Amino acid sequence: MPDGNLPLTDTHISLAHGNGGRFMRELIEAIFRRHLGAPDGERPLDTDADAVRLPDLDGPVYTTVDGFAVHPIEFPGGDIGSLAVHGTVNDLSVAGAIPRYLTLSAFLEEGLDVEVLDRVVASLARAADAAGVRVVAGDTKVVPRGHGGGIYFSVAGIGVGDPGLALGMDRIRPGDAILVSGPVGDHGTAVMLAREAFGLHGDVRSDCASVFPLAQTLSGINGIRFLRDPTRGGLATVMHEIARATGLRVELEEGAIPVNDAVRSVCEILGYDPLYLACEGRCVAVVAGEIAAHALARWQDLDEGRHAALIGHVGAGRAEVILNTPIGGQRRLEELEDDPLPRIC
């Protein structure tokens, strides 16, 4: 059924859509079941069940949860629906798990345009299909006008451990190399520009995507220590997490870190540092120095990683994050303090 032909008479969300009665049932059928509960079983959401039994899982069970409050709800390169799938899929992927099932909790604000909800749930369903995960359970709450941000989603994920990826911060050693799978800061910049609050326009698109292919291609390689997706707080924050957890020095080569020209320009105008801006489809890997070139080549063979780069290494000094500049200088990258960009994810 085309999106412009929504099987619901209401055009906007009202409090009655959250009360457990007829309006709520009709909303759930018209939007959530229509997109996520296709009868062929490929989209198995059962909107009548309290809890659902999953098919047997062929390995150790992993779980995670992520909340999504991005504003605006739709932005170049994605929307809160695709972002919610990718954010949760990515948390499972970087932990060494194969994403399988999602649950979806929605907080809708009274007055929300039903067509917007329809578009983002359709987008969520497409992103789930593409990432190979299924939405198996859901819940909808409606909050009064002025008590919400249009749409908030929480997505929990269940996956199965990949025996070829044994990962952990505690595996990181001095001499390890640091890779990033592509340019940083695109998502944060795209969302910022989409707010039209800065009088700037640009063609920056969010990098919002699943990083599972990036994790999967490293599976089975001996010496893959740790993976993480640099979301809130950006690349710099992941580096601080590594330095703090390991007690080791992290050194980045500024000139090696990929940043798109458009992102760099916007950041220069507005005074942001792209190293602190969120990505939603990039992956950082810490790998043993001797397999760094091999792992990098694996990434560069994928569409998702064709601009991957080796950007630094872990050293034996005290826990701090150092940026080596192209002209031979060094500066300390501080931990992020103030939030320049609320509701970025």
Q: Are residues 144 and 38 in contact, defined by beta-carbon separation less than 8 angstroms?
A: no
Nearer to a second copy, 71 or 289 (CB): 71
- Minimum Å gap between C-beta 290 and a second copy is 26
Question: Strand 177-180 and strand 284-287: pairing?
Answer: antiparallel
Nearer to a second copy, 5 or 239 (CB): 239
Nearer to a second copy, 149 or 289 (CB): 149
> Judging by beta carbons within 10 Å of its beta carbon (0-12, 13-18, 19+), is residue 191 exposed, middle or buried?
buried
C-alpha dihedral (254, 256, 262, 264), degrees to nearest 10: 0
In whole angstroms, what is the distance from residue 151 CA to residue 84 CA?
A: 11
Nearer to a second copy, 105 or 265 (CB): 105
- Minimum Å gap between C-beta 80 and a second copy is 12
Peptide bond into 39 cis (omega under 30): no
- Minimum Å gap between C-beta 342 and a second copy is 4
- Minimum Å gap between C-beta 241 and a second copy is 7
- Minimum Å gap between C-beta 54 and a second copy is 5
In whole angstroms, what is the distance from residue 54 CA to residue 313 CA?
A: 41
Report angle CA 177, 181, 187 to the nearest 5 degrees.
130
Nearest to 104 by CA among 67, 130, 52: 67
Nearer to a second copy, 193 or 333 (CB): 333
